[in-house]
Amino acid sequence: MRSNTKQVLLRHWAPAVAAGLTVGQAHAGVIFTVRNGGPSGLQGDVFYTNIDTCFTRASGVGGGPGSGLGLGGDEIDGVSKAADDDEFVICWSVDPASEGSAVALFTARMFGPGIPTFRVNDQHANNQAAGDTFVSTEAFNAGGVIPPLSLGLNSNRLATNQGGLYIHDFDLLPNVNPNVLVPSGTPLDDVDGETHVPDPCFPPLLYFSLSGSSPSLLNLPGVPSGASIYGDPDINIAGDEFFFAGPLALGLTGLDDIDGITVRSSGAPGVLFDPAIDYVLFSLAPGSPSLPLYGASPADVFIVDNLGTRVLAQAGQLGLRGIDNIDSVETIRLDVDVAQTLLNRVFTDPCPADINNDGVVDLVDLAALLFAFGSADNPRYSFGDTNGDGVVDLMDLSIVLFNFGMVCPPDLPPPK
């Protein structure tokens, strides 16, 4: 796999490493939601996971009646665990019509390999973007962009693909790798909400928002609005849901419709939003009346805290257009735990199956993998570990075979 990528990224992230601030949020598993009507047949009011060791895909990990939902037309828009992120990058999904910014794509391509491919712009061109999540190249805190910790690209990178044998995927449809052009008109699953948790088999308290047309809004506590946020200590037990924040507390109107959310809170059941100590990041659906009041777009990310409600991240800073639409919002914390997390997870080599870095996945790569087959945690054979799990096994073989014949994007020289 290619080494230039990490050298380029480390050059931009060097101030963060020197300061002891690195990306360290572990990603043991993801809980996510989808829009109704997707080809996988999943329900919009159910929480799902990409970990299949404890729940079947059809049943999900909870939600529906277990979260006070279950009526026809219910749809969870945003989902969040109780976050504790002071400095972070932003992870998000988009709707099927979002194209991303071609300007951000061009700018990023000047900075070398690993950055060029698989952004919103690329995935839209391949008719895949709706089922993916992406991560910002810039770092943020409550005040906005943190220049010393940012890559300065105003772009994004694919974090989780909808399916295929990509290193991280939701196991959704279409089941293809990011480099595959999906025929126009192919039904797509659309990821609506996402939050990473330590163990999806035992979901923590989750916060969620609903689309403004969800009939179960009338059955939940508090203000029945698409601009309200609810908490649920156990997403498999009905009746324990509580009202966390309403439109007024978030600086919104009852006619607004929140899409994605990240909630920083104590995570205590029944506790209301307190802007003195909590914050909420969110995006608004197209047509929300508060968008023009804030001079904002559906591709902007808002924050509300003790300083009030304002735009935190503008569309252009995320490599998006103002007419794009962010569906989910999640933060990935910057801290001192694991220096390589962002580099390994988010800025993963776009061609992991090209083991010898010659630009094509062929018999040479297959032979190299077979030579290293069965090795574990051995630096000599680390090149055969295509999915980064520490062992060269059948999964790595599957990735090479699935991508066999693929021509990889050419390496570009690093910036001067």
pLDDT surpasses 80 at 116? no
315 compared with 158, residue with greater pLDDT: 315
pLDDT surpasses 60 at 386? yes
CB 349 within 8 A of CB 2: yes
CA 396, CA 392: separation in Å to the nearest integer?
Answer: 6
Question: Can you give the pLDDT at residue 273?
Answer: 97
Contacts of 367 (CB under 8 A, 6+ apart): none
pLDDT surpasses 90 at 256? yes
What percentage of the chain reaches a pLDDT higher than 70? 78
pLDDT tens per residue across span 179-224: 789 999 999 999 999 999 988 888 999 999 999 999 999 999 999 9
Question: Can you give the pLDDT at residue 349?
Answer: 58
pLDDT tens per residue across span 51-67: 766 666 556 899 999 99
CA 259, CA 376: separation in Å to the nearest integer?
Answer: 42
CA 377, CA 229: separation in Å to the nearest integer?
Answer: 44
pLDDT surpasses 50 at 15? no
Q: What are the residue boundaries of the structural domains of the chain, listed by start? A: 4-345, 351-416
pLDDT tier at 285, thresholds 50, 70, 90: very high
Question: Can you give the pLDDT at residue 280?
Answer: 98
Alpha carbon separation from 94 to 129, 285, 366, 398 (Å, rounded): 7, 11, 35, 29
pLDDT tier at 337, thresholds 50, 70, 90: very low
Question: Can you give the pLDDT at residue 56?
Answer: 61
Question: Can you give the pLDDT at residue 335?
Answer: 58
pLDDT tens per residue across span 368-384: 888 788 876 544 334 67
Cα-Cα-Cα-Cα dihedral sign, residues 296, 301, 305, 307: negative
The class of domain 351-416 in CATH terms is: mainly alpha
CA 71, CA 150: separation in Å to the nearest integer?
Answer: 43
280 compared with 362, residue with greater pLDDT: 280
**CB half-sphere exposure, 360, CA atoms < 13 A:** 4
pLDDT tier at 258, thresholds 50, 70, 90: very high
Q: What angle do CA 133, 137, 142 make, to 5 degrees?
A: 95
Q: The tokens of 239 are what?
A: 């009746």
What percentage of the chain reaches a pLDDT higher than 90? 53
Overall average pLDDT of the 332-343 stretch? 52
Question: Can you give the pLDDT at residue 158?
Answer: 87
CA 388 to chain centre: 19
CB 30 within 8 A of CB 37: no
Question: Can you give the pLDDT at residue 289?
Answer: 98
For residue 209, give the amino acid letter: S
Q: What angle do CA 194, 327, 60 make, to 5 degrees?
A: 35
Q: The tokens of 7 are what?
A: 């050298």
